[in-house]
A and B are shown apart, each in its own frame.
Chain A
């Protein structure tokens, strides 16, 4: 019995590894500054060699997602690596990225005409070990395409971000995590005029082998800052709500 449970545990760990989750390092060295959100992932580690999906229906959400992704890019690219941003109709304004500590000149933008080309470029890019992150704005992503992308990242360990506007086909991908970022009113110190730091509601709609949740985050000039409020916080190991995927 004991050996059986050990075997199951070992197998679970192996599966997690194959799916791109690294086991928690000693001392939590490779945290990327997302605070409590990282604890929602299995092992408490943000999965790097995986596909993340960002749902942004309206341009306001897309702008918020851009900001959140830029914050993640800053953390993932801080070793000097380059990234790719693939799009068919890009509205991202490169001048805004430096406010999120991103080295914009290390991002290569690829603006293709068709989604087919975008997916081809993304798959090729995800096989390229020299890249840190590949961001793609694509909608025509089905189960087969997302499987191919997943196979590519498992091999290379590159992080893939997909931004999509179409919510109808949400269920048909095998992304490791699905996010939705929406803007929240910024908060200033009492009596100060103007706008505060960008603040978002970061919802982790789906996370494989982890616990979905919703957090309030702010980009505090140099890094993410979690705004503590009465939100449910669970240890990932304890919950029945842990998703198996």
Chain B
């Protein structure tokens, strides 16, 4: 199928936007200005100001001299891009791929292949777009052609018809000025100097001649407009492969109805996923409310799934988060992340229990959706002696331990989050303490083992080593104490308690 592109040019984007927000400015000429090297330079001009002879790029002070009563408004950098992005997202209703015009930054490019017939043909399609945008307050010019370049050119400089029939882009380009080819200013100046005022005056020239004079970029632009070179658009929202829509006849407000809507969406989605051999990993449900607001909930799974009942359970946990307001009129279920799903084996006997049990996976999915995915972790042995680093948390359920757990040195079953300083009396340096005071309670040490010296890993951090002792007091309670660093007389409180043994 021949690809078709629409170029939308917002003739006075910022001025129109300002007029929508402040209709009282309709009778006043106004401009936008931003400081450049300490001077206010005009960045956008309203229709009235343009009629008075003010152009983009003038100094604001000069413009005020030309036109009395001119209102100069501050322009914020990035405002134009933000506005275009919002308009692009609005335009997704017309075509799935909408890109911001990166060359002029005052328009949009839409790939509309296969879309116009839904509006009753290209003429009606374009008319609908122009009227809708006009009713919102934007002055636009549109063109539709086989290439983004030709559509861009005709939208801005075309004088005959916005509809360029398939394969006719060369003919449409012939009478236009060279600016229509999206060229840089130095090349344009050179063309004008050589007397090329229309595209037709140089289009037939040999490529080698043009390349020598104007460079490779010029030839690329020409080829893009003619369609001999492909041009890729960068869409503002990448369309996802798996998406389901559910428009509602009546706006939906109750949780029960929302659940029914989700069930309907999931049934369709899972049929498609199953046929493709895929499963959902990440899903986003968007509700379009009557008042124009969006409500979203998202779910994720640990293992790809295309089971309606399981996915519905996950969404049910989040239904409370949907605020339907006056009602939701459209549901869209996007699946940005899918994975291959292992074909479910029908087993007649119980499978071997383990971590990869499907029930556990589903349980973890529910926990991740309800409480948050970062609360679930497992611990694997890490190759460090330092107690705080000797276990390695992992968020994956399938990761296997790289090494075995060490059994040669005893470790306490309860470890304090940070060592707590204690008071200690030891008879001889480097001996275990005779007693220690922890939280105001004096513990008489009866049995002790140690020391086990654990040095800091110098490539990770600096500091004192620790000499760990296991001690047991007269009640039989077992503790893990350590002395930080060597014995010196200067420092106090060098003993700490770090854990409790079973």
Which A residues are within 8 Å of any B CB, using their own CB? Answer: 59-60, 62-64, 66-68, 70, 79-82, 91-100, 104-112, 117, 120-121, 124-125, 128-132, 183-186, 188, 193-196, 198-200, 219
Verify if B477 is at the interface (C-beta below 8 Å from A): yes
Q: Closest B residue to A120 by CB, please name it.
A: B370
Which residue of the partner chain, among B360, B379, B470, B502, contacts A105 with CB atoms under 8 Å?
B379
Q: Whose C-beta in chain B lies nearest to the C-beta of A130?
A: B357
Q: Which residue of B lies closest to A194 (CB)?
A: B449
Asked whether A96 lies within 8 Å of B354 as measured between CB atoms, the reply is no
| B360 adjacent to A82 (CB under 8 Å) | yes
Q: With both chains docked as a complex, state the minimum distance between the C-beta of B24 and any C-beta of chain A, in angstroms.
A: 52
Our pick among A63, A70, A109, A120 for the contact of B379 (Cβ within 8 Å) is: A109
Asked if B442 CB lies within 8 Å of chain A CBs, one says no
Contact check: which of A95, A100, A219 meets B391 at CB < 8 Å? A95
CB neighbours of B400 from chain A (8 A)? 105
Contact A95 B360 (CB under 8 A): no
Sample of 30 A–B contacts (CB below 8 Å) = A62-B414, A63-B413, A63-B501, A68-B502, A82-B353, A82-B354, A82-B360, A91-B414, A92-B413, A92-B414, A92-B415, A94-B379, A95-B381, A95-B406, A100-B502, A105-B380, A105-B401, A108-B376, A109-B377, A111-B377, A112-B371, A120-B371, A121-B371, A124-B367, A131-B360, A183-B476, A185-B447, A198-B501, A198-B502, A219-B502
The interface residues of chain A lying within 8 Å CB-to-CB of B353 are 79-82, 130, 132
Q: How many B residues face the partner with a CB closer than 8 A? A: 54
- B405 contacts which chain A residues (CB < 8 A)? 95, 97-98, 104
In the complex, which residues of chain B have a beta carbon less than 8 angstroms from the beta carbon of A59? 414, 500
**B363-A98 in contact (CB<8A):** no
Given contacts A95-B381, A131-B359, A186-B447, 18 further A-B contacts (CB under 8 A): A59-B500, A70-B413, A79-B353, A81-B353, A81-B354, A92-B415, A96-B411, A97-B413, A99-B407, A105-B380, A105-B400, A108-B376, A109-B379, A110-B376, A124-B367, A128-B360, A183-B476, A199-B476
The listed residue (A63, A112, A193, A199) touching B375 by CB distance below 8 A is: A112
Total A-B residue contacts, Cβ distance less than 8 Å: 170
**Closest 5 A/B residue pairs (Cβ):** A67-B502, A130-B357, A63-B500, A98-B405, A185-B476
Q: Is the CB of A80 within 8 A of B352?
A: yes
Please give, as numbers and ranges, the residues of chain B lying within 8 Å of A186 by CB-CB distance: 447, 472, 476, 478
Give the docked Cα–Cα distance between A110 and B393 (Å).
12
Q: List residues of chain B with CB within 8 A of the CB of A132.
A: 353
- Chain A residues contacting B118 (CB-CB under 8 Å) are none
Q: Nearest chain B CB to A81's CB is how many angstroms away?
A: 4
Which one of B363, B390, B449 has the greatest number of beta carbons of chain A within 10 Å? B363
B186 at the interface (CB under 8 A from A): no
**Is A117's CB under 8 angstroms from B413's CB?**
no
In angstroms, how far is the closest chain B Cβ from the Cβ of A16?
Answer: 24
How long is the Cα–Cα vector from A188 to B367 in the complex, in angstroms? 46
- For A195, the chain B residues whose CB sits under 8 A away are 447-449, 470, 472, 478, 501
Q: In the bound complex, what is the Cα–Cα distance between A59 and B413 (angstroms)?
A: 10
Q: Max chain B CB contacts within 10 Å: which of A70, A81, A196, A199?
A: A81
Indicate if B358 sits at the interface (CB-CB under 8 A): yes
Interface presence of B141 (CB below 8 A): no
Residues of B within 8 A of A99 (CB): 407, 410-411
Q: Is the CB of B354 within 8 A of A64?
A: no
B306 to chain A, nearest CB (A): 20
**Complex alpha-carbon distance, A93 and B447, angstroms:** 23
Determine the distance from Cα of A100 to Cα of B407 in the docked complex, in whole angstroms: 10
Closest to B400 in A: A105
Q: Is the CB of A64 within 8 A of B363?
A: no
Q: Which residues of B (393-421) have their CB < 8 Å from a CB of A?
A: 397, 400-401, 405-407, 410-417
The answer to whether B492 has its CB under 8 Å from any CB of chain A is: no
Q: Min CB distance, A234 to chain B, in Å? A: 27
Binary interface encoding of chain B residues 333-365 relative to chain A, with 1 for a CB under 8 A from any of its CBs, else 0: 000000000000000000011110111101110
Residue of B359, B472, B499, B502 touching A130 (CB-CB under 8 A)? B359
B366 interfacial by beta-carbon distance below 8 Å: yes
Q: Who on chain A is nearest to B364 by CB?
A: A108
Bound state CA distance, A6 and B499, in angstroms? 55
